[in-house]
Amino acid sequence: MQQYLQCGRYRLPLDRQRFMPLVMGVLNVTPDSFSDGGRFHSLESALSHAEQMIAEGVDIIDVGGESSRPGAPLLPLEEELRRVMPILHALRDCGKPLSIDTCKPQVMREAIAAGADMINDISGFRAEGAVSAVKDSDCGLIIMHMQSDPQTMQVKPAYQDVVAEVTAFLGQRIEQLEAAGIGRSRLCIDPGFGFGKTLAHNLELLKNIGRMQGALNLPLLAGMSRKSMIGSITGRQVEDRLAGSLSAALAAVAQGAHILRVHDVAETVDALKVWQAATQNDDE
Ligand code: 8Y4
């Protein structure tokens, strides 16, 4: 596998030390108010949250305007741009690679023009025009698997063999992106925890991260932070899922995940430091 993930202005090392993945922090983009006051407040709080994550050791900042939660309503293009573009402009020179969480080709184009380094597309660049929107840049691309769409994905998720099907889907998407001339050094795969999956499916994917990563030979991102799979196992509400999320993160790292998408950067970095110290051999 490649040594670096090409990520716009950055080349992120993928094997800094064994068991020390990159940490992608989820930036809160509060939608709420439509008044200018509300927008200003949303921007200010997003910027201070980004600053906090940087101080805590984040490696990539993921900016998302569209809620990807199960059953969430679709966001019109103009509103998504109004939410994310001011944040991208304000964080352009923060020193960390900026990822934009979007499925919309027009948002991808504008974000890249504004300096985004990575596109995180939970639909795997399946929208018409998505591949051409990203192909002439050098931004990193996260290709995620999702069964059906955010509105209906949790209705009745079903697979014959979830690991085989997710791997096959990702393989097809990689093929199409490479056919468009996109270099593999820009690509990262993601099984899409919680996106059209039951708890059993999520656990099977988690236990097989190493196999999926090895089969496709690309870096793998795992995003389980605070998700319902953690709630199902622990019986905890979303605000009480930190310990469970840290445990899931370490399980993913033990399986060979290269990037963790998390809400709690400081705690994840601490957990990784201890894990790393406890697992590293003297000669590494
Ligand atoms: C509580 C907090 C409960 C958050 C659920 C959630 C992924 C992702 C999301 C992922 C990649 C989420 C945008 C869902 N998950 N992108 N995005 N991988 N690449 N739900 O797993 O965080 S949003």
**Dist CA 1 CA 261 (whole Å):** 21
The pLDDT value given to residue 252: 98
- Please name the amino acid found at residue 259: I
Q: What is the pTM of this model?
A: 0.96
Three-state secondary structure along 119-177? EEECCCCCCCCHHHHHHCCCCEEEEECCCCCCCCCCCCCCCCCHHHHHHHHHHHHHHHH
Q: How far is CA 246 from CA 91, 130, 190, 225, 252, in A?
A: 27, 33, 18, 8, 10
The two three-digit tokens of residue 206, written as one number: 């988690």
Q: Is 187 helix (H, G, I), strand (E, B) or coil?
A: strand
The two three-digit tokens of residue 204, written as one number: 């099977």
Q: What tens digit of pLDDT does each residue of 45-100 get?
A: 999 999 999 999 999 999 998 777 777 778 899 999 999 999 999 999 999 999 99
The answer to whether the CB of 264 is under 6 A from ligand 1 is no
Residue 166 · residue 204 · CB < 8 Å: no
Ligand 1 center from residue 247 Cα (angstroms) = 17
The answer to whether the CB of 99 is under 6 A from ligand 1 is no
Helix (H) or strand (E) holding 61: strand 60-64
Ligand 1 center from residue 68 Cα (angstroms) = 7
For a mutational test of ligand 1's pocket, the pick from 147, 227, 260, 262, i.e. the residue with the most ligand atoms closer than 8 A to its C-beta, is 227
Ligand 1 center from residue 92 Cα (angstroms) = 23
The pLDDT value given to residue 33: 47
**Dist CA 102 CA 99 (whole Å):** 9
- Ranges of residues in the chain with a pLDDT under 70 are 30-38, 284
Nearest to 50 by CA among 19, 75, 29: 29
Residue 246 · residue 267 · CB < 8 Å: yes
**Domain regions of the chain by residue span:** 4-67+77-271
Nearest CA to ligand 1 atom 16: 122
Q: Is 149 left (phi over 0), alpha (psi -120 to 50) or beta?
A: beta
Q: Which atom of ligand 1 is nearest to the CA of 193?
A: 21
The CATH fold of domain 4-67+77-271: TIM Barrel (3.20.20)
Strands 10-13 and 4-7: antiparallel
The answer to whether the CB of 258 is under 6 A from ligand 1 is no
The answer to whether the CB of 261 is under 6 A from ligand 1 is yes
